[in-house]
Amino acid sequence: TPPLSPTGLFVAIVSSNHRIDPDTSVWALAREIRGQMQCQLARGEAHLFYALYGLDGTPSSAEQTAALKQKILASLPHTMVSNIGRVTPVSDDPLLRNLSFALFPMPYQSLFTAASTFNDQLTLNIGFNANRLGSHADRLIDALRLNLLNAAAA
């Protein structure tokens, strides 16, 4: 049955740059990121990155799509964190014990982390471009795991 109201996916992008050294505190970095994002949102810098309406495509013109593709391909290699935030359990479905999502890295992203919190449990799904990271992927994932465990214990 088709939905009664239009289906949509709307994505707003706020980006920031941060220097990370081997001794960077995870929590200090998180506070810095949050502070920068709050300032950017207060200034109205979040712009609609793209929108998909309905189930059959996008309202973007060919020129808009070409301009978006050019901007994406011109961006420097980077990592991305997408956080859907804290999801409240649905009382009608007590059997649902975990909720998470995962996305794949775009060609210009070395690492993509999808974060969600459900039932007070943080879930991180880390996707990476194996061709870009090569033999360093295992070391990087192990270091991320260790940093997250140390931050959680602090």
How far is Cα 51 from Cα 71, in angstroms, rounded to an integer? 16
pLDDT digits (tens, 9 = 90+) for 121-131: 888 888 887 77
State if pTM tops 0.75: no
pLDDT digits (tens, 9 = 90+) for 31-67: 898 888 888 878 777 665 555 444 445 556 677 677 7
Residue 39 confidence (pLDDT): 86
CA dihedral in degrees (41, 125, 80, 72; nearest 10)? -110
Residue 111, number of CB atoms within 10 A of its CB: 20
- 48 SS3 class: strand
